[in-house]
Amino acid sequence: MAITAQDVNRLRQETGAGMMDCKKALTEANGDFEAAKDILRKQGQKIASKRADNTTSEGIVLTQVSADGTTGKVVALACETEPVSKVEDFRNLAQSVLDAAVSTNAASKEELLATAQADGRSLQDHITDLMGKIGEKIDVVSYESVNAEKVVAYNHSNGKLGVLVGLNNTNGTDVTEVGKDIAMQIAAMKPIALDKDGVDSATIEREIEIGKEQARAEGKPEQMLEKIAMGKLNKFYKENTLLNQEFVKDPSLSISQLLEKTSKGLTVTDFKRVAIGA
């Protein structure tokens, strides 16, 4: 049967696929709109399979904190190239991912991707559809949550970095500003844990061995190596754990001292730093 321009335009409006792809799908489906939609979806699945191993180093990171300020979500939707990361359809999809995370409070990325959308299809189906339309791998590369008495979010200006910080024991103090300062600290200084208790044993063992090797290379006596390595480990904690880091805006204070100065007993209970391409 003859495929009219109106038919192609209708399918394009319903699916968002390109004009030529819509015409080809309608021709293959003999004008059957539902069959044509299935053909376009299969096209997305083929691209998803073909590009499964491709690197996704571009994209967007979005954050949102609940109205009561106690729950924060951060999601990262990645693609292969920067131009795609700026496409409206891609950005709308990223917002849909965040909206689904907020509305369902999904416990994992897998649960999030299985979330049913308004049309009854899963979020993963919508991602696959856009892959067919754009021709690139698209993936939710990170999904994190923070729950606390007060959660503060920060998004870096490049759109590729988001931070959530959870604070407890606010004692009625407005900690939004200090929370934002700490979130920016996390964005810039990349702490690996809250404090030394949060550093995994493998990292500790590695740092001790590195400290010993450095001391040995400097000609230090063998009996001194352990003590020197522990000193280097304490320096590592100071530089890489949030509560022990120097506050970037005022190096005379550690983050723990900044918190205590803001409100007695105030502390950070959790944080998440999500970045694309870094």
pTM: 0.80
Q: Name the domain count of the chain.
A: 2
* Residues 19 and 68 grouped into a single domain: no
92, pLDDT greater than 70: yes
* Residues 61 and 99 grouped into a single domain: yes
Residue 168, in any domain of the structure: no
Residue 226, in any domain of the structure: no
Q: Note down the domain range covering 14.
A: 5-50
Higher-pLDDT residue of 37, 61: 61
46, pLDDT greater than 80: no
* Percent with pLDDT over 70 in the chain: 94
Residue 39, in any domain of the structure: yes
DSSP-derived secondary structure letter, 263: S
74, pLDDT greater than 80: yes
Confidence class for position 47, pLDDT limits 50, 70, 90: low
Confidence class for position 37, pLDDT limits 50, 70, 90: confident
Higher-pLDDT residue of 235, 23: 235
Give ∠ CA 142-274-242 in degrees, rounded to 5.
135
Return d(Cα 170, Cα 51) in angstroms, integer.
Answer: 47
Per residue in 228-242, pLDDT (tens digit) is: 999 999 999 999 999
* Residues 139 and 109 grouped into a single domain: yes
* Residues 15 and 65 grouped into a single domain: no
* Residues 82 and 135 grouped into a single domain: yes
Averaged pLDDT, 246-264: 96
* Residues 61 and 125 grouped into a single domain: yes
Per residue in 153-176, pLDDT (tens digit) is: 999 988 999 999 999 999 999 999
Confidence class for position 58, pLDDT limits 50, 70, 90: very high
Return d(Cα 112, Cα 28) in angstroms, integer.
Answer: 34
Higher-pLDDT residue of 254, 121: 254
8 A C-beta contact, residue 188 and residue 248: yes
Give which of 255, 254, 251 is closest to 182, Cα–Cα.
255
122, pLDDT greater than 70: yes
pLDDT at res. 109:
94
Q: What value does the mean pLDDT of the chain take?
A: 90
Give which of 160, 190, 181 is closest to 75, Cα–Cα.
160
At 34, which CATH number?
1.10.8.10
Averaged pLDDT, 183-204: 96
278, pLDDT greater than 70: no
Last residue of a domain, one of 100, 129, 147: 147
pLDDT at res. 50:
62
Residue 27, in any domain of the structure: yes
Last residue of a domain, one of 97, 112, 147: 147
26, pLDDT greater than 80: no
**Which residue bears the tokens 């991707």?**
113
Last residue of a domain, one of 147, 171, 191: 147
Return d(Cα 230, Cα 248) in angstroms, integer.
Answer: 25
Return d(Cα 186, Cα 271) in angstroms, integer.
Answer: 8
Residue 201, in any domain of the structure: no
Residue 198, in any domain of the structure: no
Residue 118, in any domain of the structure: yes
Higher-pLDDT residue of 17, 226: 226
At 138, which CATH number?
3.30.479.20
Residue 96, in any domain of the structure: yes
